[in-house]
Structure 1
Amino acid sequence: MSSEVGLSERGNITVQRLESALERLINGKPDRTPNDGKISLSRINKEAGLSSGGIYYYAEFVDKARNEIEKHKSQKSGYSSNSNKTSIDKLRAQRDKERELKERYRSQRDEIKKFCDQVVARNANLEFSLYEALERIDALETEVKKVKVVELDRGKKS
């Protein structure tokens, strides 16, 4: 594109930045914006690194960019159904992978829960056994206290 009429050196540099940003977006190799194939004036502005609405100061470039965007959209519509199918397939594969991960995590959670329940049950069983043993010890101690122990002297007295 020829430089716009009456632009300063700085304006010409800005137009060059806009043109290279448009070229990067058309080629699918943007630096500052997502690489999703979308092209708009706003995206060209962001890709060029201009402030919001800066592109609109360059009317000739805006007209050229709109034409390029239309060309790009018409070319893209020819093979967009293929790209849509591949993106849908990718999304389905991702969904299936997430489902499989969720199922695996659920089964791991259930196994851990089952293990924890077994540990708690075993702990309760041990506590009850300890309680019974302590009760038996108390009963035996009271029985020993009731019994009077008498010493028997056998043999010679000195």
Structure 2
Amino acid sequence: MTEENITQKIDNLLAEIKDDDLSEKGSETLSLIKDAFKRVLFNTPERTPADGKINMAKVNKEAGQKRGAIYHYKDFVKQARNIIPVYKEWEKNGGSLADTSESAELTALMNENADLKYKNNKLKNDKEEAFELRDAMKAHADKVMTNNANLEQALLTKLYEIEQLQEQIERLEQEKANLAKLIQLQPVK
């Protein structure tokens, strides 16, 4: 089996992984994981040591994902576990994808492509987070303004009630004073 054949076989196996039921972000993450898997498989990782070891945790880390994120993509994990023995057997029989210049160029292009995709996804996520934060802050500000308006209205209502009560107290005190004068002026019978 030639290098092209093994590369084609790997690409075919990875292409079989369905991402139809994933969200756009999930599909992008799966794409990052696939690219990271190829880099680890070709022994040209960017984020992890190039020690020849291939495992799901290393692929996950190479893809820049949180711990265990790779296991949300069960089809990928299943297919990757099928690919690894095929690749190891091919490499054991004399082939080494990382040793050829064509493979190195291809890997470099794949790495650059994956890096650009990663940066693009990160920028999209940052933009989405900024918009979400802006919307949350606006909603909070609107709520505060509404609460302030309600409190101001309640305060004005209470001040008006206090003024009315003070006027009523003044009237009652005036009536009391008038009654007291009347009582003093009337002769006792």
Name the TM-score, length of structure 2 as normaliser.
0.41
Task: Decide which structure has the larger Cα Rg and report it.
Answer: 1
- Which structure has more relative contact order (CA 8 Å, sep 6+)? It is 2
TM-score, normalised with respect to structure 1: 0.48
